[in-house]
Structures are given as C-alpha cells and as structure tokens.
Amino acid sequence: MKGIINRPVKLWLVMVTAAILWMMGAGFQKANSASSEDLYDGLKLFSDVIELIQREYVDEVDSKDLIQKAIQGMVQGLDPHSSLLPSDAFEDLQIDTKGKFTGIGIHITMRNGFVTVISPIEDTPAHKAGIEAGDRIIKVDGQFAKDLREAVRMMRGPKGSKVAVTIMREGIKKPMEFELIRDEIPIQSVKFVTLKPGYGYLRLSNFTATTTQEFEKALEKLEAETDSMKGLILDLRNNGGGYLVTAIEVASEFIDKGVVMYEEYGDGSRDTYTAKAGGRATEIPLIVLVNEGTASASEIVAGAIQDYARGQLVGVVTYGKGTVQNWIELDNGQGGVRVTIARWLTPNGTQISEVGLTPDVIVEITEEDYTNGVDPQLEKAIELL
C-alpha cells in the first residue's frame, strides 16, 4: 500500500520540479549553469526526503501538509516578517486594515523564534489587561504558539468567548497568565482632544485606508476650537503600522516638501517617496510620542519628522521594523505569501531595522507609573510645547 501512496506524490513532485526548472529557463536566463544545477539537486533532495518520510515514518503523513510546512519553513527562514498563509488564514491576517474583526486586539510578529507582541491595540481586551509591546506569547488556551498563523487562529474567535494567553515578559522570571474575553476590535485609528486652547493631542493607533481622512477631520475640529494652533502632540505609541501609502500621506501633513522615505531593493536600486503638497500642519509646533510599540509605518512618519527636525521625538527607542513586505496571492486559492521586498530608509538614509529610532528626549514609563495612572512621556511633551 505504501508504494501506491508514494507514486502520485513522486509524480507530483517531479512535475513541480519540471515546472520550476522551465521557469528558470524562461524567466531567469541570466542565472549560470552552476546555480541551476544546485537548485536541481536541492529539489531532487526535497523530493527524496518527502518520499522517504512517506515510506519510513512510523505514522501515516499527509504529503500536502508536509510540503506546506516545508515551504513555510523556507519562507520564515528568510526573515521574521516573511510567511506563508494558507487560504483559510490569508484573508484573516489582512483584516486589521480592512474592517472589523473579533479577537483580543494585538499586532504580532515572529521575533527570535517567538510569537512577539508588536503592540496592543488601544481600548481592546489585550490593552486593558496590560499586555505590552515585546511580550512573547508562549501559549494560547494551553497550546504552544509555535508560529504566527497558529497564534492568530487561536486568539481570534466569537465575541464574548474566553481565551487564555500565556506570555513571557523581559525582567519577569515566571510566565504571566491572562484570561481575556474576545471582543469586536475597532478599526477607528484616530482619537483627539484639546489639551488647552490652541494645543491639541492626536493619537494614531494604526494606519488604515481611512486614517488620513480621520486625521484631517480631527485636525479641523481642533482648529475650530481656537484662533490658531500653537502646538500639537502626535501620539504614535503602540502604533504597529499599516498601509505604506497612508504613512506617506500622514507624514505629508507635517512636512511640506522633500523625501519622506527611501525604499531600497536587493540590487541597490531605490524608490523615493516624497511629501505630498497641501499638508495642514506643516507650521504647527510638534512633539511626537514614541515607544517600543511604535513600528513600521509609524516609524516612517516619526523618522521623517525627526530627520527634518520638524518636531522632537519623546519616549523610548522604537521597535525597529525597517523592512517592506508585499502580500502575493497564490494561484488556485492556495493562500498567499508575505515576502520582504525591500528595506526602507529615513530621509537621511538611516536604516532602522532591528535598531529603531532613538528619541530626542528619552522618557521611560515605569510599572509604578502605569499603576498610578501617570504618563510622564505625555507630561514631558506638554512641557516641551
């Protein structure tokens, strides 16, 4: 029986190998023969190992599952932000910037082999329970969270249902247990308040398709309350990112002209993103709040503001996600691949990946501050205005 099972698998793998080699000849003619032979040998080894496992492994295995896991390992081995998602999870992971969903409300990534919190989303179960940027998610409902896909799947669920999340936090020896009630996660990304006449506070929780419009409406309302804006605090703390185009638009609200960021590809070529004309806040004195949960698109905005000395950054060193990913949908409903296509640099040419942005004014928040409801970072920002 095993021989019968193996034959279609072997035939299928040979067909895949042939198709890849055909594409190599058609689309990669510049590749030398040595590299082509290396790839052929690698594909043959892959086929041989699959067949060996099918023949010798103690339990029956699903060949498609083996192949998917192999591809996942290949993609995740590139960097922490590249991944393969099957069809049932491909749309789920994109919902954060498209519509409402139910879950606990966190942005996560793979970092150093662990599912790691980039930032909690404001006013969500995770945020209210005290889950923080940098927390490592070890288990969900008692099951080990081994990869990003499984972690997302296990933490999402019906509104009102319970989920137990076990995390490890730097500086705390024992795992921390959180029992959360899943809720509808809001996508509204902008909140604002007048601190005092002429001084406004704008909080951006992420960068969605509607963030720019929300930002402009919020600024209009702040301006309507005073004769002139004398100062503005832009809060990007725990903002895990979002759409690149939205980040460029938001940065353009504060920077009247010039480069916002460079996108640098593997061959050394660059795309340049410049500020769009017509920004509403290019002359308003500005302070930007950042922390370890400020990542990706929010670092683009903060980095441009810092490089142009448009405003001071207050807080602690940011997350350091200095790469750009693209979602590529696979044929025949097989899901999609999220692959890193470039690195991005600030206007001064700084690459912040794994390093982050260092604020102009370092202000930390202690556990005691959290407990007492004190925000020294915001207090310092108000003082600087």
Asked whether 340 and 82 are in contact (CB, 8 A), the reply is: yes
Q: Which of 96, 183, 235, 307 is catalytic?
A: 307
Tokens of 81: 């932000």
Catalytic residue list contains 296: yes
Other Cβ atoms within 10 Å of 58 Cβ, number = 5
Catalytic residue list contains 321: yes
Looking at residue 86, what is its pLDDT? 65
d(CA 237, CA 354): 17
Mean pLDDT of 36-64: 82
pLDDT digits (tens, 9 = 90+) for 194-229: 998 899 999 998 898 889 999 999 999 999 988 889
Q: Which of 83, 119, 205, 296 is catalytic?
A: 296
Tokens of 15: 């067909």
In the predicted model, is pLDDT for residue 22 greater than 50?
A: no
Q: Which of 321, 353, 360, 380 is catalytic?
A: 321
- The fraction of the chain above a pLDDT of 70, given in percent, is 85
Phi, psi for residue 176 in degrees, rounded to 5: -110, 135
Looking at residue 94, what is its pLDDT? 52
pLDDT digits (tens, 9 = 90+) for 120-151: 887 899 999 999 988 999 999 999 988 777 88
d(CA 153, CA 256): 42
Looking at residue 53, what is its pLDDT? 85
In the predicted model, is pLDDT for residue 33 greater than 90?
A: no
Q: Does the model's pTM come out above 0.85?
A: no
Catalytic residue list contains 10: no
- What Cα–Cα distance (Å) separates residue 275 from each residue in 249, 254, 262, 286, 342? 7, 9, 12, 17, 20
pLDDT digits (tens, 9 = 90+) for 247-279: 999 999 999 999 999 999 989 899 999 999 999
Looking at residue 335, what is its pLDDT? 73
Mean pLDDT of 178-188: 85
Tokens of 236: 């990007």
